[in-house]
Amino acid sequence: MKKYFSILMALAVFAFTACVDVPEPYGINAGNIADEEEVIILPAGSGTVADPYNVAGLIQAVANLPAGQNWPTEVVVKGIVSQLKNDLNPDYGNLSYYISDNGKTTEQFYVYRSLGLNKEKFTADEQVQLGDVVVVQGTVTNYNGTLEFVQNQSWLLSTTNTYSGGGETVDILGDVTFYENAFDGALGDFTTNNVKLPGTSSYVWTGDKTYHCAKASGYVGGSTQESEGWLISPSINLKKATEAYLTFDHDCSKFNVDASQQVFVKAKSENDREWTVLPVEEYPSGKFVTIANINLSDFVGTKVQIAFQYTSSTASAGTWEVKNFKVTGYGEKGINGITWEDFSNGQFDYWEADDATPTGWQEDATKGNAKLSKSEDCYSRSYSVCIEGVALGERRLAYKELYFEPGTYTCSFYAKAALYEGRVQAGYWPQGAAAAIYDKDATGANIRTDVTGRDWTKITYSFTIEETVPVALIVAVPTGSKDKNVLVDDFTITKNQ
C-alpha cells in the first residue's frame, strides 16, 4: 500500500484525545476505511458562511490555539461525517460526531455536543449519519489539548440528512391564523405572572435564545425549588371566528413526577375571572412534540387569552419548553389586543382611587397632559371630566391607545364651559406621530369650537385610518385658555360602514 501524508498529519492526534466522555475506538461508529492511496487535501476556505473552511483549513487555522482557550470568533466548516458517537442527550438534544474532508477517520475534527438545524434540538441519533455532508457553525476550543467545538455552541447550517423520524406531518386545522408566536428566543407580547419565584431567581419564564423557545424552570442554585409562574397571551380576537384551534410544540424534561401534575394549559374569555384547563394529550420528555388542534369552540365569538401555568416543588422542578404557538381556524380575523371596540368609560363614571383621572384616560403623560378633575355638572349619568386650560400651551385629555383597523371612524362628545366661556378642539394621535392630528376645516385650519357655561354642545368629528395602528383619542383645550376650563361628557366612537 502506498500512502502520502499531508502536512497536517501531525495534528491527527487531536481526533482521539477529546473530552472525558469520548469512548475507545471500538465504541465509536466509524466509517469504512478503505486500504487505498491517500490523497492530499489542502486547506481551503475562510471560515465564513459564504466561504466555509474545509476540515483541513479549520485544523490549520486553529492549530496554535492555546489549551483552555476559545477561538475569538465563530467559524463555519464543511465536511463529511466520518465517525458517530450515537450519544443523543435527551435533555439538551445534542449529538457528537467527527467530520473530515473525505469521510475517512484521518485528519478529522470533533463536533462535540452540537445542535441541529436552526439551533433546534436533535431528537434521534439518526439525524446525523455516516457520510452526511454537513456545514457546521460555532465556537472552537482547545479542550485539554483537543481541538473541538464547544458544547451547545455549534449547530448545523445545512445537512444532506433527510431523516424524518417516521412521524406523520401534523395537519393544523383552519385557513385563518388568528395569532401566532414562535417564541424564537423571546416571549414577544406574552406577559408573565410570577405567583411564587423559585429561590433567589427573579423569574420563572424566560425566552431561551439557544433553543429558540419559552422556558420555565424551578431548578435554581443547584436544587429544586417551589415556584409558580404563568405565561399569558395577549387577547386573541375570535369575535368573527366560526371555529378556532390551539397548536403548539412543547417538551417537559427532568420532572420527578408526571409532568401533567405540574404544568397546565388554560384559557379564558376576556370577561371571565376563572381559567378553563385545556386538554393536552402528551407531555414528552427529551424532545419537542406538537400538540395540535385543541378545540377552542367555547371561546369563539369572544376575545380569548391562553396561559401556560408552570409549578414546581422541592421534590420536582422540571423544565418546560414551549414554542410555535398558533391559534388557527375558520372565519374572519379580527384585531388582536385592545381595540376601539373595547372603548369604555365615555360617560366618565369610573375614576382612579385618587379621583385625579377617569379610568382609561391619561395613561400616556405625553399625549394626555391636562390637569383633570371630577365634576357633577354632567350631561348624563353622574360625572363629567373638567379639563383645566392654561395661558401657554394646549392641554389634552387622551384615552389609552386602542387598535384601529383601516377605515373611517366618527367620534362625538358633549362639551360645556366650566364657568362662562371656553374653547375645545378634538382629534386623534396615532402611535409614532409627533403630535395629535385635529379635525380641520376646508382651509386646513384646526377646528376650534366655542362653548358656553349655559348649554351642552355636541361636537362630532371623523378621521380615517389607512393601516392597523394604535391610536389615542384626544380632546384638547387650546393654548390661551387660562381660566376657561371645559367640561366633557358622553364620548362615543363608531366605525362608518
Which CATH number does the domain housing residue 13 bear? 2.40.50
17 lies in the same domain as 147: yes
pLDDT computed for residue 209 by the predictor: 82
pLDDT computed for residue 167 by the predictor: 52
489 lies in the same domain as 363: yes
436 lies in the same domain as 380: yes
| Residue 164 counted as domain residue | no
141 lies in the same domain as 267: no
pLDDT (tens, 9 = 90+) of the chain, 497 residues, equals: 333 333 333 333 333 333 433 333 333 454 443 444 556 899 999 999 889 999 999 999 999 999 999 999 999 999 999 999 888 887 889 999 999 999 999 899 999 999 998 888 888 888 999 999 999 999 999 999 999 999 999 999 988 887 656 555 678 899 999 999 999 889 999 999 999 999 999 999 999 887 789 999 999 989 999 999 999 999 999 999 999 999 999 999 999 999 999 999 999 998 798 999 999 999 999 888 999 999 999 999 999 999 999 999 999 999 999 999 999 999 998 888 788 988 999 999 999 999 999 999 999 999 999 999 999 999 999 999 999 999 999 999 999 999 998 999 999 999 999 999 999 999 999 999 999 999 999 999 999 999 999 999 999 999 999 998 999 999 999 999 998 999 999 999 999 98
327 lies in the same domain as 350: no
Q: What is the DSSP letter of 169?
A: P
Strands 109-117, 146-159: pairing kind = parallel
Domain boundary among 282, 301, 331: 331
Residues in the chain: 497
489 lies in the same domain as 364: yes
| Residue 168 counted as domain residue | no
110 lies in the same domain as 183: no
| Residue 3 counted as domain residue | no
CA distance 237 to 269: 10
What confidence tens digit (pLDDT) does each residue in 324-347 have? 999 999 999 888 878 898 899 999
| Residue 81 counted as domain residue | yes
Handedness of CA 218, 220, 222, 224 (dihedral sign): negative
Give the Å distances, CA to CA, from 84 to 126, 129, 148.
10, 7, 14
Domain of 462, CATH number, reads 2.60.120.260
| Residue 169 counted as domain residue | no
**Contact status, residue 309 vs residue 264, Cβ threshold 8 Å:** yes
| Residue 409 counted as domain residue | yes
| Residue 361 counted as domain residue | yes
CA distance 214 to 206: 6
325 lies in the same domain as 344: no
**Contact status, residue 147 vs residue 14, Cβ threshold 8 Å:** yes
Its domain, for residue 325, covers 176-331
95 lies in the same domain as 197: no
pLDDT computed for residue 60 by the predictor: 96
132 lies in the same domain as 196: no
Q: What is the DSSP letter of 113?
A: E
pLDDT computed for residue 325 by the predictor: 97
CA distance 221 to 229: 18
Domain of 242, CATH number, reads 2.60.120.200
pLDDT computed for residue 185 by the predictor: 83
**Contact status, residue 147 vs residue 140, Cβ threshold 8 Å:** yes
The values of phi and psi at residue 228, to 5°, are -150, 125
Domain boundary among 280, 302, 331: 331
Number of folded domains in the chain?
3
13 lies in the same domain as 155: yes
Domain boundary among 296, 331, 366: 331
pLDDT computed for residue 287 by the predictor: 83
| Residue 167 counted as domain residue | no
pLDDT computed for residue 327 by the predictor: 97
pLDDT computed for residue 309 by the predictor: 98
16 lies in the same domain as 137: yes
Q: List for the chain the helix, strand, coil content (%; round to 5).
A: 5, 45, 50
